[in-house]
Amino acid sequence: MTKILLAFLVLLSVCSRGSAETQPYTVITRDSYGDGWNCGVLTITNKETDQVVVTSTGPADDCKYAPPGDTCERTETISLECGTFSAQQSGLAHPADCSWIIHDGDGATFAQGSGTNSELFSTCSSLRQASPRLLDDDTPPAQFTVSGLTEGCPDKTVFEGLYKPVAKTKSDRWYYKSEKDMYIYWDSDCDGTGPVNVPNLWIFSALEPSTTPVNDLDEDNACVFSAYKTSTSMTPPLGTTTWTVTCGGWISIPLTLKVAEDRLITTTPDELYNTISQYGNNVMTSGDRALIESGTYTCTTCDSSVSMFKVELFGNIVCQEDGLSCVLDGQLTRIVMWISETGGSKLTIKGIKFYRGDAGGLYSGGGMVVDSGCKVTLEFCAFTSCSAYIGGAIYNQPDTTLLLYGTNFTSNDADVHGAKDVSNSGIFAVFDICPDGWVGIPDEGVELSAGGVEIAGIPNSFSIGSCTVCPLGKAGASAWYDMLSSSTCQTCPIGRFRSAEVGLCTICGAGKYNDKDGSDASDHESCQSCPAGKHLADDGLRPPLVTRSAKIA
């Protein structure tokens, strides 16, 4: 067989000062197919001295007598101090058959790789135990969206939507969770049994991964998932790339992973329809946060019956200023907003006044219509002088989830008595607390005029009241305690900053640290980069420690 040269580099980074004693490690190199040794040489090098400390070749008999299909491997014991090393494999005839694994003195998997692998890990126990371990400066996106399954594999559309980072795993990669409780994570060996037949996968799964194991993160001893892509990137491959999806069999489908963005909508009132509505130019895409400039928006160029019609759109539509200064005016001739499909994720609308919407004739929902299957949250909105046959302000259809915080209803009307404000056929809940990132108490108004399915919570009109977004450096207790609301802002703890965008205490992120509490850590700029030659000793909560020089015994 013709040998090709394929190298992969695994960086092992020094972490902290410590004992000069060496520690034993077991190195196993494997060829998963018994047709002779085709996996070249594994070389481990001290990166600070460029000294080769280990050269691992194949077994003495070169696997000549291994039955076809049987794994051939070599095991040897090495000794290393805490240090910076590279492990490079070369001379691979069949990279897909080649893998290696290192166990520590307790027999636990310490590091592993394959012909296409690139891993980050350290021989230094202090850094291995730190959480998060900051070995790189590749901070993951705050959130991203997934699309392409609706066209490529409709059975798997549950995996579309908005994903947010949850926590770091042992590989220093974040795993992500969607609003439909689906997960994306990276696994170096999905069944954890070795040899690694399908290594280094970004995975779509309905099972939440654990942050404890090095591999087999769903801890099922099997490779069970709905889609995967081979990659060693520190974040899920962004852009449009090919994934392998189980769809009546394994097929290749182009999926798009896109970082959600802020988009400031500064158009004229008549053009607002074309920047958000899918029936227009649709500048806002799913997962984006559209910031609406203050003003009154009418519509002379859009559909005659609906001011804004949104299809398959989720994310955030937010008035740039508080005080209901963004007004969508239906001019008593059309429904203000019709929401049709949110892709299984949530559309949040904040600080918008729905004014003078009229459904006309026997139609429902003059201010807003929410179609079946949608998930919508309204924060500090208002419905004023809207009318319809039933549900003057809102018509909430079956199989929906509509949640309201601090939302006011005034002077709405309906032909059917008892449903001037709301006609509900789905899940409709009104909360008497401020939303996450805010503290205080909203003002409670009169009971809503509602018909249909009973409204959950407190079925009254509310307004912003004393709800106040916490100042920079502080956040509502609900941001990081298991509480729904709080009457006081809590100082963000050391190692976190308050995100002005969402009002939550947020971890600084990979490669960053912060040794001050939120009173002096008001934004992401307060998070400092870990200097060269230093590392974090404790969860990013203390200043970096000086890195020791590595010495090889």
pLDDT tens digits, one per residue of 131-185: 222 223 334 456 788 888 888 898 888 898 888 888 888 887 889 988 788 999 9
Give the single-character DSSP code of 127. Answer: H
Q: Give pLDDT, residue 124.
A: 52
**pLDDT at residue 545 is higher than 60:** no
310/191 Cα distance (integer angstroms): 42
Q: Token pair of 41, please?
A: 């040489």
- Residue 341: band (very low, low, confident or very high) from pLDDT cuts 50, 70, 90: confident
**pLDDT at residue 356 is higher than 70:** yes
Give the single-character DSSP code of 150. Answer: H
Q: Token pair of 551, please?
A: 């010495």
Mean pLDDT of the chain: 73
Q: Give pLDDT, residue 127.
A: 30
Higher pLDDT, 502 or 385: 385
- Mean pLDDT computed over 433-437: 81
The DSSP-derived string for 377-425 is EEES-EEES-EESB-SSEEE-SS-EEEEES-EEES-EESSTT-SSEEES
Q: Give pLDDT, residue 380.
A: 96
- Mean pLDDT computed over 336-361: 89
**pLDDT at residue 12 is higher than 50:** no
Q: Give pLDDT, residue 34.
A: 62
Q: Token pair of 517, please?
A: 């509490």
Q: Which of 100-104, 269-273, 338-342, 354-358 has the highest mean pLDDT?
A: 354-358
- Mean pLDDT computed over 362-375: 93
pTM, full prediction: 0.52
- Partners of residue 48 on adjacent β-strands: none
Sequence-distant (6+) residues with CB within 8 A of 26 are: 75, 76, 77, 78, 102, 103, 107
Strand 85-90, strand 8-12: pairing: antiparallel
Give the single-character DSSP code of 35. Answer: S
48-106: per-residue pLDDT in tens? 566 787 777 766 666 665 565 567 778 888 888 766 667 777 887 777 777 777 777 76
Q: Which of 218-222, 376-380, 478-482 has the highest mean pLDDT?
A: 376-380
Q: Token pair of 13, please?
A: 């980074």
Q: Token pair of 267, please?
A: 């158009």
- Residue 530: band (very low, low, confident or very high) from pLDDT cuts 50, 70, 90: low
**pLDDT at residue 350 is higher than 90:** yes
68/72 Cα distance (integer angstroms): 10
Amino acid at position 434, single letter: C
438-455: per-residue pLDDT in tens? 888 899 999 999 999 999
In the three-class reduction of DSSP (H, G, I as helix; E, B as strand; rest coil), residue 87 is classed as strand
- Mean pLDDT computed over 519-535: 55
Question: Given its phi and psi angles, is residue 127 left (phi above 0), alpha (psi -120 to 50 degrees) or beta?
Answer: alpha
Length of the chain: 553
Q: Give pLDDT, residue 277.
A: 64
